[in-house]
Amino acid sequence: MIIYRLENYKGNGPFHASQGMGKELVSHFDPTEEKMLKSVGLSIEGFEHCTGKGMLFGWGSIEDMQRFFRNHERSVKTASKMKFKISVYESNTYFKFFDGQILFLKENNPIDRINLRDFFNY
């Protein structure tokens, strides 16, 4: 499966520690909520096992990822200034939640890194 992940040059996503991106992003479903876990057939223990093994979050499409930018143009510009890019991964080990989030095993380096401002023409 191809997965799109917003991450900085260190490979951290926008919610890792204090990235300063919180005000630019729309809250998405908490993957530990019962309905989210049920949508992928995981228990909370199974979820914690997966994240403990280094599985990461991304999106199944760029369209799904775009929905979580609060103000699209401003959010893209802010993320770009903070050196975030869209990393494109391919993974055979993943769970697809009903809202489009993907919990995946990062098996290799990204197959592509897309500059946000170039991609969205801002």
Q: Are the beta carbons of 103 and 1 closer than 8 angstroms?
A: no
Phi-psi region of 74 (alpha: psi -120 to 50; beta: other; left: phi over 0): alpha
Query: 91 versus 62: which is more confidently predicted?
Result: 91
Q: Are the beta carbons of 113 and 85 closer than 8 angstroms?
A: yes
User: Residue 73 — very low, low, confident or very high, per pLDDT cuts 50/70/90?
Assistant: confident
Query: 112 versus 29: which is more confidently predicted?
Result: 112
Domains of the chain: which residue ranges?
2-120
Residue 70, pLDDT above cutoff 80: no
Q: Which of 41-50, 58-67, 87-96 has the lowest mean pLDDT?
A: 58-67
Reading the block at residue 71, the tokens are 């103000």
Q: How far apart are CA 108 and CA 22, in angstroms?
A: 27
Q: Which of 10-14, 25-29, 73-77, 79-83 has the lowest mean pLDDT?
A: 25-29
SS3 26: coil
Average pLDDT, stretch 82-99?
A: 93
Residue 17, pLDDT above cutoff 70: no
